[in-house]
Structure 1
Amino acid sequence: MLGPNYQPPPVDIEDQWNYQHDKRIDSSELIDPLWWQSAFSDEALDELILLAVENNLELRSAALRAIQAQQILAIAVGNQFPQTQQLDALVDRSKYVRSGITSNVQSEFYPNFNLTWELDIWGELRRLVNSAAADLKASMAVYDGALISIVAQVAQTYISIRTTKRRLVVARENIRVQKESLRIAQVKFRAGEVSALDAEQAQALLSNTEASIPSLGITLQQLKNALAILLGVPPGGINYIVSLPSTIPYTPTVITIGMPQDLLRQRPDIRAAEYRLAAQGELIGVARAELYPNFSIGGEIGAIDIRGGQLNGSSDAWDIFVEFNWNIFNYGRLKSNVRLQDAIFQQLVSDYQQVVLLAQADAENAIVAYLKSQQQLAHYEVAADASKNSVNISLSQYTGGQVEFDTVITTLVSDVQQQDILAVARGVVAVNLVQVYLSLGGGWQINDGLAPVELLPEEVWKEMRNRIPYWNKLK
């Protein structure tokens, strides 16, 4: 087999994370493949992820591309065997009339079988098999990448739905408090203690807060529609999401993230880039093989059988040959092709190294975003508690005539914003945790070891088998 033989290129990768010593992360063990179960312990989320893995159409398309790569590999394997196999047969039945004399009816039968086999002296066909095998692995890695992306999108959309529902609860609670402030202002106005301005200001604030309800309703429905697409069902197919609680999932105190070196075998995009590199490396050998002579052996077996007329009997014929081809006048073109394949390989080396660098940056970005959003959430919780207390104090003081209504309005406006910010911040922490696991490449292991043909639902296989019978041997 003409080379070069593939060797994984060197890559620069860090020995530890930037936040290696943070008590909230554990890098001593690999991440849990079923990270969403250990992170959130949410049965509804578990069910949604299972539905998405089964029904998501983008994921199904990725599985079908892997099956296509599998068939290309099978074709490459088949090309190692005799390439031309042909069985011919001619049946001829005739009668001749010449000078008034009619001959008997004559039947002739010519069966013929020929075979040609290209000898893989320089390893061209074996290299093509290796390249197709690497392409199949790359396709499976692309499927794994699609899988973890779908899982993460389902988890993040689910969290966003519950966050939006929490924001609706917060908005309605603010509306309740603001209605009470409006009632107090109206009572004091009717008693002649304040002007109508206080009641009008209270009404304006209340109406603005009530206007946020339809806006949040739009967001909620859009998120539900996005989740339906991820599950591969029409938007109306997940109305039961309405019954989900309006609390935001909490995150664990400590998360397991492994070491940066684990990214090389965990992240599907890194594996896909390396497999594409390996596939291209084999094509250099294929291009080099074209510089050398090509040998084929073949043979033909035939027979003639004649019945009727003046001749009766049969005869046999056979032929064996060795064919030799050498493109000696195309060396410039063939050498250019070798250089072309090598340049493509070197480009893919750079692409692979870039993917590794981006993967490290992606993971570091996700980790720091998660850790800092937790710190941010702690401050927002303190601010939200203080804001809630200030509303209660200002309403009490306004009722007792100690402060003007402007003070009440200021605390109410601040509380509306602060409570909403807190709900959003809690959702952001959970979403950022999902992003951490996505950046680390976790989750594809749930289908690890399955052949491409096992990644499709049974109803899809049934449809394909009904269309053509040749899938039966693969299932």
Structure 2
Amino acid sequence: MPVPQTPPRAVAVAPLLAALVLAGCANQTPFALDSATAVPSSWAAQDAVQTAGSATAQPPEPLHQWWQQLGDAQLAGLITQALQTHTSMRGARAAVEQARAQLEVQAAGQLPAVDASGTAQRSRSAGSTRNNFQLGLDASWEPDLFGRIASGVRASQADLLAAQEGVAAAQVALAAEVAVNYINLRSQQQRLQIAQQNLAAQRETAQIAQWRVQAGLASAVAAQQARTIVEQTAAQLPALQAGMAQSRHALAVLTGQPPAALDEALAASVPVPQPPATLALAFPADTLRQRPDVRQAEQRVRAAWERVAQAEARRLPSLRIGGTLGLQALTLDALTGGGASVASLLASVSLPVFDGGALRAQVRVQQAALEQARVGYEEAVLLALQDVEDALVALRGERQRLERLGAAAEAAANAALLAQNQYASGLVDFQTVLDTQRTLLSVQDSVASSAAGVATGHVRLYKALGGGWQAL
């Protein structure tokens, strides 16, 4: 009995089965991100605010809408509007859509491609005319033997996640910028009121000095000195008013409006938003997981890792399977009536043999890009830790400064009142009155600036902690 021969179709399919087995056995080293940066267990300046892990063991504050803790509804409304309309947010969202579309492009490479085609040919030879009509479907598919296509998909997924983290980072920066400009506006309004109040008191003193000069009880020098301090104080008002206008313009643009759109809404003077007395912080490691810029840097490392694997897979064999299924006829009526069926199947394997070292160099290119991404991640971690520590130190120093300035302002107010009363009674010279009034204005202005500095310090701390966004 003759030995049965292997059918030709089985011989053709055998290499395909072997390729699929290889694809199933292909394995890639899993992604791992090792940072050389040692993350501390707690903040060095943790005494600046009440921290998690203290004696009370408070959980960290929710930071995704930290501006609600400032108790200013107008500020909250401005931040909400800015997050919806500012150009940075629209640009970041467009980057997400671009990354999502690129992911779809990469994922489509894992599926078969099918094209429809139709041809009509008319030829004449040796006095005879011949027609040929064809309709068909052409299909092709590349099995992902060594994970090249899958690596590209995973790289695009990491790019999409990095773009989404970019939206979060834009939210963090924008919310903080709106809050800082709003605090500056309210601080300048308060400083303007202080200057106007001191100007009124100085004008009263100047009037008293003028009366004493007219009565022959003082020289004209005293009146000119009084006029000098009045004009110096009045000269501060235009600068404060200009600063207020610039802050209003900045807030309008941040909320997607023309510069003068908020002039009326923000004209009334209101107190500077007051931050909470204490703030429970997350641990450094938790903060790094919260900050979108650190998370974005991590995703960039992941994308670079996958592109190294993709470049290495390009140096390995690749398999492509293609086929055609269609109809062919000599006349159009015969074609639409069924025609003759035509089918073909083709499998091809390709292996780079000599390319002048281009593929090997491309691997090195991606490896260098991976190293750059890793360095960028370590830099993001270090800068995040520095941001929090700097914000804590600055906040602690500003609080101490405000406490001292408050005591100084109280003493300066008492000194100015006593000096004015004693001058009216002729007990002190006019220079003492001028010195106390000048000191009072300076100290009160410093108190207002320091109070705004404390509020701004909280905003910068919230930003450093990665507050201002919420994961979906």
SS of structure 2 residue aligned to 1:114:
strand
Corresponding position of 1:44? 74
Question: Is the 1:291–1:327 Cα contact (8 Å) retained in structure 2?
Answer: yes
Question: Is the 2:248–2:266 Cα contact (8 Å) retained in structure 1?
Answer: no
Higher alpha-carbon deviation: 156-165 or 322-331 = 322-331
Deviation at 1:301, TM superposition (A): 2.0
Distance (whole Å) between structure 1 residues aligned to residue 324 and residue 286 of structure 2: 57
Instruction: Spell out, residue by residue over 1:167-214, the C-alpha distance to the aligned partner (whole angstroms, 9 max, x if none).
Output: 110010011111111111011111110011111111111111111111
Corresponding position of 1:428? 453
User: 1:214-293 counterparts in 2 under 5 A?
Assistant: 214-293=238-317
Corresponding position of 1:323? 348
Corresponding position of 1:341? 366
Deviation at 1:357, TM superposition (A): 1.3
User: 1:350-429 counterparts in 2 under 5 A?
Assistant: 350-429=375-454
Q: Aligned pair in 2 of structure 1 residues 34, 317: CA closer, same or farther (>3 Å)?
A: closer
Higher alpha-carbon deviation: 305-314 or 160-169 = 305-314
Distance (whole Å) between structure 2 residues aligned to residue 313 and residue 337 of structure 1: 50
Corresponding position of 1:452? none
Q: Aligned pair in 2 of structure 1 residues 416, 351: CA closer, same or farther (>3 Å)?
A: same
Corresponding position of 1:17? 43
Distance (whole Å) between structure 2 residues aligned to residue 376 and residue 310 of structure 1: 96
SS of structure 1 residue aligned to 2:328:
strand
SS of structure 2 residue aligned to 1:328:
coil
Instruction: Spell out, residue by residue over 1:432-474, the C-alpha distance to the aligned partner (whole angstroms, 9 max, x if none).
Output: 10000000001211xx32xxxxxxxxxxxxxxxxxxxxxxxxx
SS of structure 2 residue aligned to 1:180:
helix
Instruction: Spell out, residue by residue over 1:35-78, the C-alpha distance to the aligned partner (whole angstroms, 9 max, x if none).
Output: 53453111111111111111111111101101110111111111
Instruction: Give TM-score scaled by structure 2 length.
Output: 0.88
Distance (whole Å) between structure 2 residues aligned to residue 47 and residue 251 of structure 1: 17
User: 1:31-70 counterparts in 2 under 5 A?
Assistant: 31-70=61-100
Q: Aligned pair in 2 of structure 1 residues 40, 308: CA closer, same or farther (>3 Å)?
A: closer
Distance (whole Å) between structure 2 residues aligned to residue 273 and residue 179 of structure 1: 60
Corresponding position of 1:207? 231
Q: Which amino acid aligns with 2:299?
A: Y
Question: Is the 1:56–1:230 Cα contact (8 Å) retained in structure 2?
Answer: yes
Question: Is the 1:291–1:331 Cα contact (8 Å) retained in structure 2?
Answer: no
Q: Which amino acid aligns with 2:118?
A: A
From 113, 116, 122, the counterpart of 1:87:
116
Count of aligned positions: 441
Identity of aligned residues (%): 30
Distance (whole Å) between structure 1 residues aligned to residue 103 and residue 262 of structure 2: 40
User: 1:151-162 counterparts in 2 under 5 A?
Assistant: 151-162=175-186
Q: Which amino acid aligns with 2:92?
A: A
Q: Aligned pair in 2 of structure 1 residues 32, 313: CA closer, same or farther (>3 Å)?
A: closer
RMSD: 2.4
Corresponding position of 1:146? 170
Question: Is the 2:133–2:332 Cα contact (8 Å) retained in structure 1?
Answer: no
Question: Is the 1:36–1:46 Cα contact (8 Å) retained in structure 2?
Answer: no
Higher alpha-carbon deviation: 56-65 or 25-34 = 25-34
Q: Which amino acid aligns with 1:375?
A: Q
Instruction: Spell out, residue by residue over 1:309-363, the C-alpha distance to the aligned partner (whole angstroms, 9 max, x if none).
Output: 9999933322110111111113733223223322321232222112111111110
Distance (whole Å) between structure 1 residues aligned to residue 108 and residue 361 of structure 2: 28
Distance (whole Å) between structure 1 residues aligned to residue 119 and residue 248 of structure 2: 67
Structure 2's unaligned 5+ residue stretches are 1-25
Higher alpha-carbon deviation: 62-71 or 235-244 = 235-244
SS of structure 1 residue aligned to 2:381:
helix
